[in-house]
Chains A and B, each alone.
Chain A
Amino acid sequence: QKEVEQNSGPLSVPEGAIASLNCTYSDRGSQSFFWYRQYSGKSPELIMFIYSNGDKEDGRFTAQLNKASQYVSLLIRDSQPSDSATYLCALSGNTPLVFGKGTRLSVIA
């Protein structure tokens, strides 16, 4: 069984700061890594995916993957109150997506 670990939070950051969300995983065979954002009472929405080691940037979001250390992170630059949500890390390889339990982010205005 794959394990996907995330700090449940809440992670509180001031508006305009960088929020750093981390995820570690147990299965070295994992190939694809995803970050989803979920607002309270809503379904998860895809933010980014990353397949290769290194950084991938999309607007204010950067995903970082280090397969040797088995972690993937999400950086949110210039955090806004609208970024306050739960962020889910998910990964797949030879099985369907397995999700972490999420980190709750609170951006304080």
Chain B
Amino acid sequence: DVKVTQSSRYLVKRTGEKVFLECVQDMDHENMFWYRQDPGLGLRLIYFSYDVKMKEKGDIPEGYSVSREKKERFSLILESASTNQTSMYLCASSFIAFSYNSPLHFGNGTRLTVT
């Protein structure tokens, strides 16, 4: 079974802090993704990566950056946390390299609150 592990289940941070959300997958998947999920807005793609050191912007990248130094690890960085970044953050991975058509496997999510 694919395991996607997000380092924190719940986080509380202050406005202006730099926040790191970590995600690790253990199935040698090529592709990794960060989504956020908000009531009434659904799941929205922040950033994704098809290879080490490679990243692509999703639909809502503003205020975020990412890092993929190793194939199994994909980190989401909030450069200066703001209250409108309070959300559920979901990391996902998929198998087929450079393909959008393979299923996503999600981690358990990190519920971030920015005060």
Binding site for B on A (CB under 8 A): 1, 31-32, 34, 42-46, 49, 51, 88, 90, 92-102
Contacts and interface: CB of A to CB of B under 8 A. Distances in A.
Interface residues on B, range: 20 to 34
Q: Name the prevailing secondary structure of the A interface residues.
A: loop
B20 interface: no
Given A43-B90, A43-B107, A43-B108, A99 B101 contact: no
A92 B106 contact: no
B57 to A, nearest CB: 11
B100 A93 contact: yes
B104 interface: yes
Contacts of A92: 100-101
Contact of A43 (B33, B41, B103, B106): B106
Contact of A42 (B42, B103, B108): B108
A94 B109 contact: no
B48 interface: yes
A97 B92 CA distance: 11
Contact of A32 (B35, B40, B43, B100): B100
Contacts of B41: 101
A56 to B, nearest CB: 13
